[in-house]
Amino acid sequence: MEVHTANLAHNVSEIHRRIGQRPILAVIKNNGYGTGVANVARALEPLDAIHGFAVVKLQEAVTLRDAGVRKPVLLMGPFDAGELHDVVSQRIMPMVYTPMGDALEKEAARVGRRVPIHVCVDTGIGRVGVPFRQAGPLITDLASRKAVEIAGTMMTFTEDAAFDREQMRRFETLTSSLTRTGVALGRRHAASSFALFEHPDGFLDMVRPGMAIYGIYSEPAFRSTGVMDLKPAIALRARVAYVKRLEAGDSAGYERAYKTDRPVWVATLPVGHVDGLPRSAAKGGKVRIGDAMYPIIASVSASHTIVEIGAEQRVQIGDVATIFDAQDGSRPEDFAASCNSSVYDLTMHLHALLPRRVIA
């Protein structure tokens, strides 16, 4: 796997231009969408546009601090009472949506400083977050505690265009009435990559994208809008491990998933579903070797993938096969579409132990 830091920086500047220079809370959960959580944080941290980082697992937040990351880190996932101790000690900001003011005050007293938090309001997505109808009293209670600093107030769009507008209305109504009563809400944020394209009125005080930072269009339709020029910052390549000619009547793969009635050259790549390559890649996925695209055939096994080269031996052992990179036709979006898979599944499922090379 390659992580291209120049493309990360390019995407951040595209997002920054799009959002009128607001700050960006970079979502680097799920191992930095496959790039490696510390890799991507180290690459993004020096950029002025990056306010901080958001992850969902405490372990990832701690990994960032262990890696020397100093900018704010928001933990968007759950933690228990014991873990709040680590959260506060490591200066990680918890996302809060339950009445835990007492516990926060206790931790603040222990460390001798205020604890910054982000309050999560559910305006209709129906997962974590205090329901918007009950959010007023909770936020007012948290804001009344000297030991607690509300550094942000957030919501998540359902990404249903019409309902998003209703969610926005609910959030605006709630936050403006709280602001009127003197409650300080910190930065209000909601916008993921989808909203960067679809909802300029949802940019609020800060945006919270993931996919766009990695240079990937979260929806195929966004690619042709011209709203942002995103360059994939992530590539997956493998060296051809073996090349052979199958004869007429031969087969390849478990259960003889592929059969040939004519001689054909095939190449084996040492990458499989355990590495994160979708099994469905054998039903339409293509890889690039040299300048040509070759179909994945048979079935994707745990650690191997077979590619059909054709009547001529045009590929050698050691050649580089690109599963996806920044080139048109081989973008992560292209590969995911050819496998009938989501680009989110593709990058986030890349195995954490794949060798990753950070390229400036």
Ligand X SMILES: Cc1ncc(COP(=O)(O)O)c(C=O)c1O
Q: Which of 31, 175, 192, 341 binds ligand X (CB under 6 A)?
A: 192
Q: Closest separation between CB of residue 211 and ligand X, Å?
A: 4
Q: Listing from the earlier edge strand, what are the strands of the sheet with 2-4?
A: 242-246, 264-269, 305-310, 292-297, 286-289, 320-324, 234-239, 2-4, 357-359
Q: Shortest Cβ contact with ligand X: which residue?
A: 210
Instruction: Take residue 115 and report the two structure tokens written for it.
Output: 């604890």
Q: Which of 12, 15, 27, 346 binds ligand X (CB under 6 A)?
A: 27
How far apart CA 68 and CA 90 sit, in angstroms, is 11
Q: What is the total count of residues that contact ligand X (CB under 6 A)? A: 12
**Binding flag, residue 167, ligand X (CB under 6 A):** no
293-350-210 Cα angle (round to 5): 100
Instruction: Quickly count helices (H) and strands (E) in the chain.
Output: 11, 20
**Binding flag, residue 36, ligand X (CB under 6 A):** no
Pattern of binders to ligand X over 40-79, x per CB under 6 A? ------------------------------------x---
Contact 164, 126 (CB under 8 A): no
Q: Which of 256, 360, 264 is nearest to 309 (CA)?
A: 264
Binding span for ligand X by CB under 6 A among 15-23, 140-148, 192-200, 307-315: 192-200
Other beta carbons within 10 angstroms of residue 26's beta carbon come to: 29
Location of structure tokens 């990937």: 216
Comparing CB distances to ligand X, the nearer of 208 and 288 is 208
Phi, psi of 78 (to 5 degrees): -75, 160
Binding span for ligand X by CB under 6 A among 103-111, 139-147, 189-197, 271-279: 189-197
**Binding flag, residue 35, ligand X (CB under 6 A):** no
List Cα–Cα distances, 230 to 48, 52, 200, 338, 346, in angstroms. 19, 20, 18, 20, 18
Q: Which of 156, 167, 280, 341 binds ligand X (CB under 6 A)?
A: 156
Comparing CB distances to ligand X, the nearer of 107 and 198 is 198
Pattern of binders to ligand X over 194-223, x per CB under 6 A? x-------------xxxxx-----x-----
Residues 218-257 that bind ligand X (CB under 6 A): 218
Q: Which of 5, 35, 123, 193 binds ligand X (CB under 6 A)?
A: 193
**Binding flag, residue 268, ligand X (CB under 6 A):** no
Which residues make up the interface to ligand X (CB under 6 A)?
Answer: 27, 76, 156, 192-194, 208-212, 218
